[in-house]
Amino acid sequence: MANERLRSALAAAGLTPQAVGEQVGVDTKTIERWISTGRTPHRANRTRLCTLLGRDEEYLWPDAVSDAQVRSASHAEFVDIHPNRGSIAAATWHSLLVNAQESIDLLAYAASFFHDTISDFNELLLDKARAGVWVRLLFGDPKGGAVQLRGEEEGIGDSLSGRCSLSWKYLAPCIGIPGVEARVHDTTLYTSIFRFDDDLFANTHVYGAPANHSPVMHLHRVAGGRLFPHFLDAFARVWDSAVQADSTTLLA
């Protein structure tokens, strides 16, 4: 059976089997067999291909990755656990923003701490967007049912809705700027997700407690690991269900 994932990855990267063979160190016919017959390359070649194509080994050859390898890779993804969001220094968030080269993805209800602790937060986002970084902002609908319910569960009533409104007011200068995409969501949020290239912070939500009082897991993307893509897939699902932010409506 042909390996269509590998074929698609080569096409997406704009690479021919000949070009891949030259960079990996095997002949063109071998590359073509890997595609047309689904033959699994030796591990060293799989690693080179993953690096070249920017894909995970588990995605390209799911049958070749053992449970032990997956567990090992997932352990390697884990960087640190913070007891609460407040224990992460403002300088850390600032550094992550400044050093991002490809993607900034922020999912929360309000995440007003960014503007509270980083005075030039908007300017940093806009600078990154102008430099070609893909910035995606995904925050709660102040009038949505999920935000209202979360506020009730935390015992703060409409305060969470107010924080969402405040965040959108802060972000107004960023909405509509090329390179910045902003969407409003009304989903039950189990985890706030803050992704900066290959680093991701997953802030768990615990019933009855505000997000800033709950643990934050720091992950770094590792080929073959399942934790980083697991949370990134969650971001994608919320993103797909959200609607484009309209500053006129949000600030009304």
For residue 240, give both structure tokens: 């797909």
Per-residue pLDDT at 47: 85
**Strand, helix or coil for residue 16:** coil
Per-residue pLDDT at 64: 72
Q: How remote is the C-alpha of 248 from its chain's centroid?
A: 27
Can you give the pLDDT of all 252 residues of the chain as single tens digits? 889 999 999 998 899 999 999 988 889 999 999 999 988 888 888 888 888 888 887 788 877 765 555 566 667 888 999 999 989 999 999 999 999 999 999 999 999 999 999 999 999 999 999 999 999 999 999 999 999 999 999 899 999 999 999 999 999 999 999 999 999 999 999 999 999 999 999 999 999 888 889 999 999 988 777 888 889 999 999 999 999 998 666 665
Full set of structural domains in the chain with CATH: 4-65 (1.10.260.40), 75-250 (3.30.870.10)
Give 62's contacts (C-beta < 8 A, 6+ positions apart).
none
Q: Rounded CA gap, 48 and 74, in Å?
A: 20
Euclidean distance between the first and the last CA atom of the chain, given in angstroms as a whole number: 56
Per-residue pLDDT at 210: 85
Total count of residues recorded for the chain: 252
Burial class (CB in 10 A: 0-12, 13-18, 19+), 40: middle
Per-residue pLDDT at 248: 66
State which amino acid sits at residue 107.
L
Helices (H), the chain: 4-13, 17-24, 28-36, 43-53, 57-60, 67-77, 90-99, 113-117, 121-130, 145-154, 159-171, 227-241, 247-250
Place of tokens 């009730």: 152
Kindly list the distances between the CA atom of residue 171 and the CA atoms of 122, 229, 243, in Å, as whole numbers in the listed order: 7, 27, 16
Per-residue pLDDT at 185: 97
Per-residue pLDDT at 56: 81
Per-residue pLDDT at 62: 79
Per-residue pLDDT at 216: 96
Give 4's contacts (C-beta < 8 A, 6+ positions apart).
none
Per-residue pLDDT at 66: 58
